[in-house]
Amino acid sequence: MAEHENPLEGRRVVVTRAAEQASELAARLESLGAEVLFLPLVRFAPASDAGPLDRVLGELADYDWLLLTSQNAVRFLAERAREIGCDLAPVLSEQRARPRIATVGRATEEAARRQGWRVDHASKGLGGADLVREFGDALRGLRVLLPRSDRATADLPQALREAGARTVEVVAYRTLAAETIDPGVWDQVERGETDVVTFASPSAFSILRSHFGDERLRQVAEAARFAAIGPTTAAAIRQAGFPVLIEATAATAAGLAAAIASYFSIPSVSPGRKS
């Protein structure tokens, strides 16, 4: 066996993604030797008021760009369109001028293509800010639709407006705390019996912080490394005053697993928790 074939052997990694999105990350971590503990902190639900989303679905051709920043934005946009009998194919699948579609992250791009939607611009960066930088002044004066979570931060719409875009935000889905969480995993995290706690969104971190409180969470952070899937999540954790020792260079499950493996492949990394 090669020296780093199982770089996570003996490591206990907590996956906090929503249950329906956790399988790929868990499988990749397990293939690297990790013991995976499931602690789904978030769940997703349709917008509480679907009226605004229904209106923009009927007006898509009036927009110059549709910006998709997550798999969930794609999923709930498509699901709501089917529920109200709105055929998106003529607008989002055919080679039409409006609206053009831009995606952030490989997972979002793949989700859009699975729906049969064309992708006119796939951002090479990890977050919405990268997308705005890639466009430069090209969005000035254009009408941009941004469907997102009710808990999304204000950074992206602010950046779009500063770039001169006429931005319309709409809540496509809600991000909620998970209804049930395994108390045994909570206890293992609190007792310092894990090596890594992964976060795929600022919301997941916020829910964990609410559960523990800052003082207890600092103790958790001393025992386990916090790992973020991308810059938006990492920034939210750091702004709260907590360290992010592992940050993916590609905002995907594969990228996060690779970043964790790379971290523990460094000889200077301490053994971590005690058996």
Residue 271 lies in a domain: no
The domain boundary, picked from 126, 146, 176, lies at 176
What pLDDT, on the 0 to 100 scale, is given for residue 274? 41
Q: Do 154 and 212 belong together in one domain?
A: no
In a domain, 3, yes or no: no
Same domain for 137 and 208, yes or no, is no
CA nearest 91: which of 118, 72, 52? Answer: 118
Q: What is the pLDDT of residue 155?
A: 86
CATH of the domain at 67: 3.40.50.10090
Q: Does residue 49 sit in the same domain as residue 100? A: yes
pLDDT at 196 (0 to 100): 98
Residue 2 forms part of a structural domain: no
Mean pLDDT by 10 residues, the chain (275 residues): 74 93 94 96 96 97 95 96 94 85 91 96 83 92 96 90 96 93 92 96 93 95 95 92 94 92 80 48
Domain finish residue from 126, 151, 176: 176
- At residue 203, φ and ψ (nearest 5 deg) are -65, -40
**How many Å apart are CA 209 and CA 205, to the nearest integer?**
6
In this predicted structure, what is the pLDDT of residue 273? 55
Residue-level pLDDT at 179? 87
Q: Which domain holds residue 118?
A: 45-176
Residue partners of 114: CB distance under 8 A and separation at least 6: none
Distances (CA, A) of 114 to 42, 46, 264: 24, 20, 34
157 and 197 share one domain: no
35 and 49 in a common domain: no
Total domain count, the chain = 2
Q: 77 and 129 share a domain?
A: yes
Structure tokens at 256: 């996060």
In a domain, 273, yes or no: no
Q: Does residue 170 share a domain with residue 61?
A: yes
Task: Specify the pLDDT at position 129.
Answer: 83
Instruction: Please indicate, yes or no, whether residues 122 and 199 belong to a single structural domain of this protein.
Output: no
Co-location of 200 and 157 in the same domain: no
